[in-house]
Amino acid sequence: MTPSLLKCLRSVDTPTVCNAIEVAEGKRGFSGFTRGTMLCSAPQEPPIVGYARTAKIAALRPPDEPAEVIKERRMAYYRHMAEGPDPSIVVIEDVDYPDCVGAYWGEINTTVHKGLGLKGALTNGVMRDLGDLPDGFPVVAGSVGPSHAFVHVKEIGTPVVVFGLEISDGDLIHADRHGAVRIPQSVIPSLEAAIVKLLETEKIVLDAAKADGFDFTAFEDAWARFEKART
C-alpha cells in the first residue's frame, strides 16, 4: 500500500471502497464485507485503515486455564499488536457472540493500543467508556455495555470472523460506522484509480440532481452519461 493509496482510503467511506473494489474487479458481486448493523465510537473521525492484527477473546465465563497461562498469553497478545506493520488495526472476535457481555474496549485498553501505534479496532464484541476513549482510535463494535465481565484473550494471530466477514492476520481492512471491508490483494495496485473514477462518475448524477431545474429529462440525460462513463 503506497502513501498515496493510504491517504486516498482515509478520505473516503467504507461503502465507497466496496463500490471501488467492484470497479477495480470489473464486475459486481464482491462479498468481503460485514453483515448487519455495527456501532462506531467516533463516527465523525476518518475511517480506520490498516493491516489486521487478529485475536479472539471470551468474557461470559471465567477462564478455565491457569492464571499464569492467561497472564503470559495477555503479554504475548500485546507484543503481537505492537510488532505489526504500519498502519495496523486490531481485529477481535469475541467467541461469545451473539451473547457478548465483556467490554474489551474501554478507556484504558484503547489508550494502550493507540500508544502502541495501532489506528483503531474492529470487533463483534463490546465497547464502553464512550466519551472517554482517546481521539484518533475509533472502535467499530457489535454492542455497548458497562462491564468487562471475565474478558480474557484466547487466541492470537488466528483467522477470525466479525459480523460474517472472515479476516486473517495481515489482511488490509477499511472500516467506519457502516461496518468493514476486506480489500483483496489483487486490487491494491488499481484501487486508487478505481476510487477516483468512481467519485468522478457519481458526480455526473449528483451534480445534475442538485442543480436548479432538475427534472426527469435532466435525470435521463445525466444517467445516460453516468452509465457510459462507468463502463
CB–CB of 230/201 below 8 Å? yes
- What range defines the domain where residue 63 resides? 31-183
> Does 197 fall in a domain?
no
Instruction: Please check whether residue 68 lies inside any domain of the structure.
Output: yes
- In a domain? residue 141: yes
Q: pLDDT, tens digit, for every residue of 155-198? A: 999 999 999 999 999 999 999 999 999 999 999 999 999 999 99
Q: How many domains does the chain have?
A: 1
The pLDDT assigned to 115 comes to 98
Output the pTM of the full model: 0.95
Q: How many CB atoms lie within 10 A of CB 109?
A: 22
The pLDDT score that the predictor gives to residue 181 is: 98
Tell whether 117 is covered by a domain.
yes
Question: Which stretches of the chain drop beneath a pLDDT of 70?
Answer: 231
The answer to whether position 230 is within a domain reads no
pLDDT score for 231: 64
- Which pLDDT does position 230 carry in this prediction? 77
Query: b/e map of 176-209 (b: 16 or more CB within 10 Å)?
Result: bbbbbbbbeeebeebbbebbebbbebeebbeebe
- Whether residue 4 lies inside any domain: the answer is no
Give the residue from 179, 165, 181 showing the smallest Cα distance to 20. Answer: 181
- CATH number of 156's domain: 3.50.30.40
Is residue 82 in some structural domain? Answer: yes
Q: Does residue 140 fall inside a structural domain? A: yes
Rounded Cα distance, 107 and 87, in Å: 21
